[in-house]
Each structure stands twice: as structure tokens, then as C-alpha cells.
Amino acid sequence: MNPLTTRQVVARIGVIIATLELLIMLLLRALLHEEYTYSEAAIDTVLLAALSTPVIYIWVIKPFVDARDGALAQIRHLALTDPLTQLANRRLLSEHLQRLIAGSIRHKDHAALLLIDLDGFKRVNDEHGHEAGDAVLVEVARRLRSSARSEDVVGRLGGDEFVILIDRLCGDERTARGRALRTAEKMIGMINKKISFKGKTLRVGASIGIRLLGFDEMDPEAALSQADAAMYRAKETGRGRAVFFEQ
């Protein structure tokens, strides 16, 4: 919805007041058949206010507020969303990660941060061009989003790095680690599937670093850094696998 301009606001209010005042004057003249007295002027004023206020709200104020709220929502969406994949960007991921850490401490329930880096993505870009690379990123984002639970958060840090924040794994660490690992392996399997692009078959893999979140306070950026370190260990030990960060 396009916002009203100042001229449109003034014009609408003027039209409303003039039209209603004319109708009220005609009504009073038809009913009283005589010149206005002070009491009749007061009635005129009260009627004008009572009739014009809801009309001004519906025709002027509400469209203005709706347009403003829509613009603010769009600005926030652009500020917190990756424009290519429509996933959460680094800023929004950091906000969610902060809440995830706090929730794990409060509920004594482990959570996990999965940092995913695509294997072979540079080759796709080099051999097929950046358009093919973008198509791969969009398809990987779709697969991650469709495979993740509704309560989990999927985002893109930038480049070919993605993040999944997994909430409420389990209070028991061993069980939580097993569930986080199974989720990571599921994502690797989804990413490994072929991607069709303009008659070509593209393939990428994934290496994943896992930072299990326990019951201690920690900085979101530190958690991301530790998951990143685990991801590089996964690459160094053969790629296409998931590795936990160990203290």
C-alpha cells in the first residue's frame, strides 16, 4: 500500500469536514426551519466531530498507519534477511542464537549450532558461472529449510556458509549429541543430492561443524567461531562429514 502524501491527507480531511458540515447544516435547517441559535451551533459542532472522526480514521489515519507499518516491516525484513536465499542473515542469526543460549540455560535443555560449508561450491562457480552458483545456494537453502523442524532457525552467514540453530535437543548431553549428529548427517545427505540447472546436473557436498550448547553463558560470536573451527576440522579429515567442537 502506497503511503498518503501530505497533500492527500489535507485534501481528504478538508473534503470530509466540508461534506459533513454541509449535510449537518442542511439537516438542521430542514428540522428547525429557523436561524441557528447558540445551542444549535453546539449541536452542529458535536455532530460534526462525531461524524467526521470515524470517517477521518477510516479514510485518512488507518491507511497512513497501515502504510507506515508495512514500510517498517519491509525495512526490518530487508535488514534481517539474506536477499538471495531469504534465510535469516548473520544479524538475525546472532539474535536467535543469543535467545537459544539463554533458553538452554533456563530450561536445562541442550541446543546445538550447526555451521555448514559447501564442498565443491567454488568449482561450480568456476565451471558454470555465478548464476549457477546462486542457483545452488537457493536450492540448498530450500532443502535446509524444508528439512529443519519448524522451531529451528535456518540462516546464511554469507558466501557458501549456512547455519542451523536446533532448540530443545535433550537435557542429557549424550542424547543431545546423538540427535544433533543425526540432524547434521541428514542435512549432508540432502545437500549431496544432484541439483538441476539449465539442463546441467550440479553437485556439491557439505562439511558441518557442531557446537553443542549446554548450560553455561557464552557469547554468540564465540559459539559461531567454535562451530567454524569444528567445520574446518571436518574438511581437514575428509569433507562430507560432521565434527563436534571439543573444548
Which domain CATH number covers 114?
A: 3.30.70.270
Q: Is 1 domain-assigned?
A: no
**Same-domain status, 188 and 68:** no
Q: Which residues of the chain have pLDDT under 70?
A: 1-7, 9-10, 14, 18, 21-22, 24-26, 28-53, 71, 75, 77-80
**Same-domain status, 28 and 52:** yes
pLDDT of residue 28: 64
Catalogue the E-assigned strands of the chain.
Answer: 110-119, 153-158, 161-170, 195-197, 200-202, 205-213, 242-244
- Residue 150: Cβ-neighbour burial (10 angstroms; 0-12, 13-18, 19+): exposed
Q: Is 66 domain-assigned?
A: yes
Domain around 172: 90-244
Nearest to 115 by CA among 7, 3, 8, 220: 220
Last residue in a domain, options 51, 80, 109: 80
pLDDT of residue 15: 73
216 given a catalytic annotation: no
Give dist(CA 137, CA 208) in Å, integer: 16
**Same-domain status, 136 and 221:** yes
Q: Per the confidence metrics, is the pTM higher than 0.75?
A: no
- Given a contact cutoff of 8 angstroms between Cβ atoms, the answer to whether 145 and 154 are in contact is yes
**Same-domain status, 53 and 164:** no
pLDDT of residue 4: 64
pLDDT of residue 57: 74
Q: Is 85 domain-assigned?
A: no
Which candidate in 109, 160, 167, 228 is catalytic? Answer: 160
Strand, helix or coil for residue 52: helix
Instruction: Note the helical H segments in 109-172.
Output: 121-128, 130-147
- Given a contact cutoff of 8 angstroms between Cβ atoms, the answer to whether 212 and 180 are in contact is yes
**Same-domain status, 46 and 165:** no
Strand, helix or coil for residue 81: strand
**Same-domain status, 95 and 75:** no
Domain count, the chain: 2
- Given a contact cutoff of 8 angstroms between Cβ atoms, the answer to whether 225 and 241 are in contact is no
Sheet with 161-170, strands from edge to edge, namely: 153-158, 161-170, 110-119, 205-213, 242-244
**Same-domain status, 25 and 118:** no
**Same-domain status, 120 and 197:** yes
pLDDT of residue 104: 92
Give dist(CA 123, CA 168) in Å, integer: 37
Task: Please provide residue 115's backbone torsions phi and psi, each rounded to the nearest 5 degrees.
Answer: -110, 120
**Same-domain status, 224 and 200:** yes
Give dist(CA 106, CA 176) in Å, integer: 16
C-alpha cell at 164: 542451523
Give dist(CA 213, CA 30) in Å, integer: 78
